Amino acid sequence: MFRPLSATQRWPLVVANGPHRTTSRLRVTLAVAGVVVLAAAAAVPGLPLPLRLLLGALALGLVALAAMRRPKPVRATGAAIVADATGLSRTSPDGTKPIVAWGTPFGITLLASYGRPHGLLAFTTQTQTRYVPTRIDDRSDAHDELFARIAVLADLDLVDGVTHDAALTAEDAAALIRHAEEHDRASLGRVYLSDGRGAPIALDRATLSIDSRTFDLTSHLEWRALMFHESTGQAAALYQATWIRQSGAEVVLVAPMPASIVPREPNAHREASGRLGRALTRDLRLLQSPAEPPPARDIRVAIDRPFMMAIRRVLDEAPLASRVPLPAPKEPAAQGRDSIL
């Protein structure tokens, strides 16, 4: 049934609190069916041995399937994401916080990592960034494809920080994304940020704007990933950076290096399945960055750490962008009789 865009819709934020009633009924049904089949295989006289073995295997399979059914988040917290005629907001017993106002530009990005049940939906506007925790482990194939379109590999401390927070289910998160896309079809994958001094940064599939500088992503440009150390007094910090140059304009986007971005668990990569998993795996290549001397301060632009990968992803997908290697160090000129000094 078609819902007008002005209709109020609510998507509750829930937490894991034991089995969902539907999941519990299904688990009980599977377990009872397994027991019945096993009893029938043992009690019905005259059954051939191969058939008894087949029924026994079926019974054990039903019981195992019942045991593997995961409980789903069910307990509402009183908080919800609400869409009405004016925009999106987060409501809770503590009040209401605006997320997006319809009619003003915004972007949606999914920050996720390997083998983690949660991600963060980041709603960015020209004035703020709002994060909405989202469960992604119970996604369907359709949800998986949608999430992959806007997913970016995020550092673990960001994702793991919301493990126990109230979150949207994957189904509700997908519905929220599609609802927002109906209001602004260019919002998926778009990013609005600001630098350390408050100057605006905007990224979409065609343009990267940094204050008064604009880089056309449909024309030839050069970029590369790098990292560098810098000391301040007795402390030394490690930074990640993305160098971009086009038509004489040059900028280096800089953010602190995350402590860890790839899980150390041996099964993490196996759990990175589906389109979403493949999208996150592709981002591993974008992490590769050689160490270089610190770039000149007059071309540095500080950005929010979670979105460095989003910028590299768009640069990597830009049709005429060239990822250039680290420039070779200059060799000193040979000092011979005919050298020009």
Are 233 and 270 in a shared domain? yes
Are 106 and 63 in a shared domain? no
Residue 341 lies in a domain: no
Are 153 and 82 in a shared domain? yes
Are 261 and 300 in a shared domain? yes
Residue 319, domain extent:
220-323
Residue 339 lies in a domain: no
Round to whole Å and give the CA distance between 48 and 97: 67
Are 88 and 113 in a shared domain? yes
- pLDDT at position 1 is 40
Residue 328 lies in a domain: no
Residue 67, SS3? helix
Are 43 and 103 in a shared domain? no
Are 151 and 238 in a shared domain? no
Residue 174 lies in a domain: yes
Q: Which of 183, 211, 242 is the last residue of a domain?
A: 183
Round to whole Å and give the CA distance between 323 and 335: 35
Are 58 and 79 in a shared domain? no
- pLDDT at position 48 is 75
Beta strand 249-256 with 191-194 is unpaired
Residue 271 lies in a domain: yes
- pLDDT at position 330 is 54
Cβ atoms within 10 Å of 295's Cβ, excluding its own: 18
Are 55 and 101 in a shared domain? no
Residue 57 lies in a domain: yes
- pLDDT at position 263 is 65
Are 258 and 284 in a shared domain? yes
Are 147 and 79 in a shared domain? yes
Q: Which of 183, 204, 229 is the last residue of a domain?
A: 183
Domain count across the chain: 3
Q: Which residues of the chain have pLDDT under 70?
A: 1-6, 16-44, 46-47, 49, 51-52, 55-56, 59, 62-76, 262-272, 326-341
Rounding to the nearest 10 degrees, give the CA dihedral for residues 253, 255, 257, 261. -90
Q: Where are the beta strands (DSSP E) in 288-341?
A: 300-302, 321-323
Residue 296 lies in a domain: yes
**HSE-up (13 A, CA, CB side) for residue 77:** 20
Residue 336 lies in a domain: no
What percent of the chain is modeled with pLDDT above 70? 75
Q: Which of 136, 159, 183 is the last residue of a domain?
A: 183
Starting at the edge strand found earlier in the chain, the sheet holding 200-203 runs 191-194, 200-203, 207-210, 213-216
Are 139 and 172 in a shared domain? yes
